[in-house]
Amino acid sequence: AADLAHLETPAKVTHCAIDPNAPDVPSQLKPALAGAHLVLVPAGVPRKPGMSRDDLFSINANIARDIVLACSEACPEAVVALIVNPVNSIVPAMCEIYKSKGISPRKIVGVTTLDVVRANKFVSEINGKHVGDVAVPVVGGHAGKTILPLLSQVTPPIPDGKIRSLDQRIQDAGTEVVDAKGGKGSATLSMAYAG
């Protein structure tokens, strides 16, 4: 939190260290969350080579659960933006927690802007435009074939012969990074940029 406290914004940044082995993790988080309007949750373990997003669910769902439970008590009106893989599975599961507590599940959202960042970069490399002049809409989820870059919306158009491989590269970009890091990390820097 110390580095974020240096940003030139009026927001006050504090830290919160928890003991994950203590019996009530959500209670440890509540003081840091009290009164928050927006809670960004970049949490969980990264994917390792050969690991599917489903393999991450049991670990990362427990981490997200504790944070969402704390938010449900300390800041139930806040928007909780989850950057926790597998986003496609974590978000609906966390929405169920809010529903069970009578809180609108629409307060829980998944953040997948990284797919837009990747799509813009890869398209700029193909069409030769400056990446700042490229805007590829991406809809759907954040896992493989659920990532749907709307390449038909790109100007100038992508050559027909490149669409299938570009679509595949955008969908598999996370795996490309995990493999490039030899399993010692995931897309942390590009994720920070996308956020």
Catalytic residues: 142
Nearest to 165 by CA among 132, 130, 122: 122
Q: Measured at the alpha carbon of residue 193, what is the angle toward residues 48 and 187, in degrees to the nearest 5?
A: 5
Residues 6+ apart with CB under 8 A from 105: 95, 96, 98, 99
